[in-house]
Amino acid sequence: MSPDQPGQSPPDLPATSYVVLGLLSFGRELTGYDLRKWAMNLRFFYWSPAQSQIYTELRRLRSHGLVCERTEPQRRRPDKRYYRITPAGLAAFDAWLIEEPVAPPTLKHPVALRLFFGHRAAPERLRSALTSYLEWARAQTTDLAELRAALGADFPYPDLVAAWGEQHYAAEIAAAEATLTALDQPPDHRATPDTPG
């Protein structure tokens, strides 16, 4: 597939394309493998795509001329491919960042879903789901703190998001704990768990 000619209207790419493009907008030359690792760090506030998807997006971006590829031949296995964002890619990314309307977040919260259908479950099941979730959320918090430490002062905006994430998980922990407490009360005496503070 030949690259698109310059000067045409910005192709509207799937969200994941822009994620990859954004990761490359920091200016570094990266492999698909590298990109996957970076994308993993988005998991705290944006789901990270499957490995195979990254490679698909890179091929797509390349077909649009938004990234360029440098191959290093390997013996007895596929070439190693390094990707770098092109000026056109940077322009497309900026246009997306500035012009594209920002959709509200979507959340898929299986724990809350189980709780919603609590009338069909034994209370211990709900308690255990909540407890596991608490554990997971606490782990996320420490992971985020580690990430922030690794990021250092070089990436102020990612750091801002990571800080947001820390607050997010702290709130989730508080809410889950409040729910666990509320679950101990018999349903009719159950008080609305208020937002603390």
**Binding segment (CB under 8 A) for a second copy, from list 6-14, 28-36, 64-72, 128-136:** 128-136
Does residue 76 interact with a second copy by CB under 8 A?
A: no
Q: If you ran DSSP here, which 8-state letter would residue 76 be given?
A: S
68-103: string of b/e by CB count within 10 Å (b at 16+)?
beeeeeeeeeeeebbbebbebbeebbeebeeeeeee
CA distance 191 to 175: 14
Give the one residue of 4, 26, 50, 146 binding a second copy; rule: CB under 8 A: 26
Does residue 132 interact with DNA by CB under 7 A?
A: no
Residues 6+ apart with CB under 8 A from 170: 141
Of 72 and 188, the one with the shorter C-beta distance to a second copy is 188
Nearest one of 154, 21, 155, 14 to 83, comparing CA atoms: 21
Give the one residue of 54, 62, 133, 144 binding a second copy; rule: CB under 8 A: 133
CA distance 80 to 195: 52
Contact by Cβ (8 Å): 196, 174: yes
**Binding segment (CB under 8 A) for a second copy, from list 3-11, 51-59, 74-82, 177-185:** 177-185
Residues of this chain, 15-54, that bind DNA according to CB under 7 A: 15-16, 31-34, 37, 47, 49-53
Of 74 and 192, the one with the shorter C-beta distance to a second copy is 192
CA distance 59 to 21: 12
Interacting residues with a second copy (CB under 8 A) = 15, 19, 22, 25-26, 42, 44-47, 90, 93-94, 97-98, 102-122, 125, 129, 132-133, 136, 156-161, 163-168, 170-172, 174-176, 178-179, 182-183, 187, 190, 192-193, 195-197
